[in-house]
Structure 1
Amino acid sequence: MSTQSHYPCEACGADLRFAPGQTRLVCDHCGHVQDIPQAVRRGDHLLRELDLATALRAELPEAEHEEHRTLSCPSCGAQIEFATDHHATNCPFCATPVVADTGERRMIKPQGVIPFQLTEKQARDALSLWLGQLWFAPNGLVDYARKGRKLTGIYAPFWTFDAATLSDYAGQRGDYYYETRTVTVNVNGKSERRAERVRKTRWHSVRGRVARAFDDVLVYAARSLPAQNIDGLRPWDLSALQPYTRDYLAGFEAEGYTVELREGHHLAKADMARVIETDVRRDIGGDEQRVARVDTRYSDETFKHILLPIWTAAYRYRGRAFRFVVNAQTGRVQGERPYSAWKIGFAVVAALCLAAVIAYFGQKAP
């Protein structure tokens, strides 16, 4: 889902918006400023973790849920939420027109949010720099951000997972050793015997146990954006998380999760397993390791639903939409890109001409 929160200005009635990098709401019409109540930093009891087992049993209190009127984008699958006075909009990820229906969806409320830090202009500058560095990009793409095309500010949904783990493992440790052997080689038509060192590996079985506490394993909770683009926006400074309040959403949109909690937990455990295997290999030691078995027990499992800030833009080239995203906390840019066929062709012709010139002068050389 995607929704935009509207807050009327006390002075003139126009919509207030959250000012990126600040803790206040601003009216672009009359300049009125309204402070957001003092933000409570991460670690305070108000930004709490929720018990995972309770949520997986669908036993969270009603206060942890919200109802949303949503419709899936037919092109990219984004869940778009509409305010009661809106009935149509364009998908913020692919610009596909979407019309609302009357369906409602019960969802877990966010516990935390990282407010926007970059303004739209700052995000456009970062996007322009990134686009300008792309090889073989169409001229229209390079000019896209420079012409002041509007970017859309969206809070993307994520799950975070915490767990204490204890892992018993079995495997083998390999230690290198060297042996000297005599070999026969041919030198100028004559056979000679030489000594050479050969590396071998001595293996022996090992067993052990490793422990690790995981904090805020991050999982993207939607499918609207390609995984490689979302991964490319990392890292996020989650110490900047604030307890969720819709004040931060004023003037921006927020997408709802389409990756349910159970699936998100499964993805998080896969990430944890990769880290645990690294711990196991380090614990085994030696020059090589073989891991035969890892049995992990999980405890103290908790989770949060959080929103992270992203500026998005969509560019259409030959009937296809290409999406760009900017981390609105750090300015990192990721996106899909088309290639200009004529630029590639020109580069190939230029390379062939250069090769021909080099070959010609090479033949002329004495």
Structure 2
Amino acid sequence: MTDVTHWPCESCGADLRFAPGQTDLRCDHCGHLQHIPELPKARTLALGELDLRDALANQLPASESQDVRTTRCPSCGALVEFQGATHATQCPFCATPVVAGTGETRQIKPQALIPFALTEREARASMTRWLGSLWFAPNGLVQYARKGRALDGLYVPYWTFDAATRSRYQGQRGTYYYTTRTVTVQVDGKPQRRTEQVRHTRWTPVSGGVARAFDDVLVLASTSLPRSYTEALEPWDLNALTAYSPDYLAGFTAEGYTVGLAEGQTRAHEIMAGVIHQDVRADIGGDEQRVTRVETEHSAETFKHILLPIWMAAYKYNGKTYRFVVNGQSGKVQGERPWSAWKIAFAVLLALIVAGIVAAISQMR
């Protein structure tokens, strides 16, 4: 985790903060705005892909890596990065005090990021609406979240992977056919003969091949947040990626990656395999499919290291901590679902009353 980045205001010397939804740094003290320039050439280079094979062999150009001071949070395992003369900070995930170590780690630089589009107030409003839509959520927690401490803005590390794939498969195609049979049924106590259609499946061995080009397969490069949380925040509009600049981090925190490139590639291949499986089923055709074997070759593999914006909050209510994340681009929300015991009890009681009324009406008929 990179501690909150500070940039001094040219007018008053106070800290500047990136203004979400804009391309400016704003001074909360005097209102001064400082524009963040973006060079077309820098954007083109940043959005280009890096060769995955070179990176896995530690043969990337030296300009694509950097030495950072890192310490792993002893409580949650987040990778805390330290900039400049900073030697102590607080983990934004669990608020544990963390002190800088003496060593440095060589890491791949972020190439691009999606700047925050939502302000903290807008993100809080999205979270409050989400909590309010959960009927079994405690009303007190909704109010507490609305009036509680500010959300933390965090840039979370991701890998994106591109690849060309060619897959050979073996399986079976199932085709439906029907036969007619005669059955005897009881109608008003009397047996009657009827005919009915019976469906069968004829299986035929098949084999073949499919090919697909994958672009920007997204893989979370952190273990600090549950993957189910971050996946629920998708989709991201990666067309909004811009060249990495420390200016966008002003007033925010950026997390270092803890999922290495090789592990990220493995996860990307798993995601690709799911898509390829659907391609194979479509290629087999028929009414049903059985896929018994798929062998895939990956080529032209490239990657990017990017940062995506998330607003995060953790609230303690009635002795329990609830954690929520908000997509800083779209406002989509995910978190630990809270439950209200009295609302659940009321719903059960209401269901029993309705069931009793229905039973009473049935007996009266």
TM-score, length-scaled by structure 1 = 0.92
Q: Would the aligned equivalents of 1:309 and 1:329 in 2 still touch at CA under 8 Å?
A: yes
Map of 1:298 onto structure 2: 298
Kindly tell me: are residues 100 and 350 of structure 1, through their superposed partners in 2, closer, same or farther at Cα, counting changes over 3 Å?
farther
* 2:183 match: 183
Does structure 1 residue 340 correspond to structure 2 residue 340?
A: yes
The number of aligned residues is: 365
Q: Which runs of no fewer than 5 residues in structure 2 stay unpaired?
A: none
Whole-angstrom CA distance in 2 between matches of 1:29 and 1:301? 47
Report the Cα distance in structure 2 between the residues aligned to 1:196 and 1:321, rounded to whole angstroms: 59
Q: 3-state SS of the aligned residue for 1:143?
A: helix
Per the alignment, residue 103 of structure 1 pairs with 103
- Give the Cα–Cα distance (whole angstroms) in 1 for the partners of residues 269 and 359 of structure 2: 61
2:313 aligned partner: 313
What do the CA deviations read for 1:215-257 (whole angstroms, capped 9, x no partner)?
0000011111111111110110001101111111111110111
Counterpart position of 1:219:
219
Partner of 1:144, secondary structure, is helix
Cα root mean square deviation, aligned: 2.4
Match of 1:163 in 2: 163
| CA distance 1:122–1:263, shift in 2 (3 Å) | same
Alignment match, 2:229:
229
The amino acid across from 1:213 in the alignment is A
Measure how far apart 1:194 and its partner are. 3.2
1:60-139 matched pairs, under 5 angstroms: 60-139=60-139
Q: 1:192 to 1:363 in 2, by over 3 A?
A: closer
Counterpart-to-counterpart distance in 2, 1:168 and 1:265:
21
Matched, 1:144 2:144: yes
Once the two structures are TM-superposed, the CA of residue 172 in structure 1 deviates from its matched residue by 1.1
Residue 165 of structure 1 aligns to which amino acid in structure 2?
A: T
Any stretches of 5+ residues in structure 1 without a counterpart?
none
Distance 1:111 1:150 in 2: 29
Conserved in 2, the CA contact under 8 Å of 1:171 and 1:291? yes
Following the alignment from structure 1 to structure 2, what is the Cα–Cα distance between the partners of residues 340 and 251? 36
Give me the whole-angstrom Cα distance separating, in 2, the residues matched to 1:332 and 1:111.
Answer: 25
Q: Distance in 2 between matches of 1:193 and 1:361?
A: 39
Query: What per-residue deviation string (whole Å, max 9, x for no partner) do you get for residues 103-140 of structure 1?
Result: 32221111110011011111111111111122332333
Equivalent in the alignment of 1:194: 194
**TM-superposed deviation, 1:361:** 6.2
State whether residues 50 and 302 of structure 2, in contact with CA within 8 Å, keep that contact through their aligned partners in structure 1: yes
Deviation larger for 145-154 or 169-178: 145-154
1:44 counterpart SS class: helix
Classify 1:168/1:77 alpha carbon distance in 2 versus 1 (closer, same or farther; 3 Å). Answer: same
Structure 1's 77 and 305: CA in aligned 2 closer, same or farther, altered over 3 A? Answer: same
Equivalent residue runs for 1:22-41 within 5 Å? 22-38=22-38, 40=40
Three-state SS of the structure 1 residue aligned to 2:3 is: strand
1:54 Cα deviation from its structure 2 partner:
0.7
Q: Deviations over 1:131-187 (max 9, x none)?
A: 112233233311133215211110011000000011111111111111122334445
TM-score scaled by structure 2? 0.92
Alignment-mate amino acid for residue 240 of structure 2: A
Distance in 2, Cα, partners of 1:184 & 1:351? 41
Identical-pair percentage: 64
Shift of 1:346: 4.4
